[in-house]
């Protein structure tokens, strides 16, 4: 998606060799016009997937996920992060190791909000090692729901998330694909 690539070039800041900071349009301050364009694009890409619901993880997945859900005219659910968990029968849970924060979060979704047989579109801001998406897939599996696609705003192709998802045989669409960071510059994949 050209608009997003241009915004990344303009406002993204490369931290070390693996992390991109995009906190002035996605991860802290949010650009609603760009989020809407991204939501429309995900809706176009998954138009034939018969999506019943969009699922993401708080907090940075929420903005792109809500605009995607709006464009698809379906509800959006976000998994909540909990540091500690008293096991409850009312929730689906998964452990997600955060690549950027280097800590494990329990993510939880109330059982009322995913029904067996529902067709879920998973949305997240970044795909790095695939742990966040993997956690959402575990929740979908526990709920007997079907993952019909994964929409990623920014995929880093040099990390192992994509290979993990390809093994799971799930359709993945990324709006921007980054092949490398070189001397503080973003190199996009073809
Ligand atoms: P994964 O679970 O695929 O390893 O990492 C995805 C999660 O880590 C995303 O939800 C995102 O919050 C965070 N993340 C991974 N890589 C980056 C990055 O380069 N920049 C930012 N801002 N967040 C990232």
pLDDT tens-digit readout, 87-145? 667 999 999 998 888 889 899 999 999 999 999 999 999 999 999 999 999 999 999 99
**CATH 2.30.130.10 matches 2-188:** no
Q: Residues enclosing ligand 1, CB less than 6 A?
A: 19-22, 27, 60, 98-100, 124-132, 161
Q: Given ligand 1 and candidates 20, 21, 125, which is best to mutate, with the most ligand atoms within 8 Å of its CB? A: 125
Q: How far apart are CA 144 and CA 138, in angstroms?
A: 10
Q: Which atom of ligand 1 is nearest to the CA of 22?
A: 22
Residue 179 burial (CB < 10 Å; 0-12/13-18/19+)?
middle
- For the chain, give the longest Cα–Cα distance: 49
Structure token digits, residue 172: 């993945």
Q: What is the pLDDT of residues 136-175, one digit of tens each?
A: 999 999 999 999 999 999 999 999 999 999 999 999 999 9
- pLDDT value of residue 155: 98
Phi-psi region of 105 (alpha: psi -120 to 50; beta: other; left: phi over 0): beta
């Amino acid at each position: 998606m050209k608009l997003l690539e241009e915004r990344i070039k303009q406002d993204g800041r490369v931290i070390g060799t693996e992390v991109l900071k995009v906190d002035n349009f996605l991860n802290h301050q949010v650009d609603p016009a760009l989020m809407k364009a991204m939501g429309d694009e995900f809706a176009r890409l998954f138009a034939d997937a018969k999506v019943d619901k969009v699922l993401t993880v708080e907090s940075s997945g929420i903005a792109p996920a809500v605009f995607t859900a709006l464009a698809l005219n379906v509800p959006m659910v976000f998994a909540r992060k909990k540091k500690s968990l008293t096991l409850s029968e009312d929730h689906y849970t998964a452990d997600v190791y955060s690549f950027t924060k280097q800590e494990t979060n329990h993510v939880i979704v109330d059982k009322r909000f995913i029904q067996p047989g529902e067709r879920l579109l998973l949305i997240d801001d970044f795909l790095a090692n695939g742990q966040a998406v993997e956690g959402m897939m575990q929740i979908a599996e526990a709920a007997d729901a079907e993952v019909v696609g994964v929409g990623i705003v920014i995929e880093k192709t040099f990390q192992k998330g994509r290979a993990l998802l390809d093994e799971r045989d799930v359709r993945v669409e990324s709006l921007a694909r980054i092949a490398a960071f070189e001397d503080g510059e973003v190199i996009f994949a073809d």
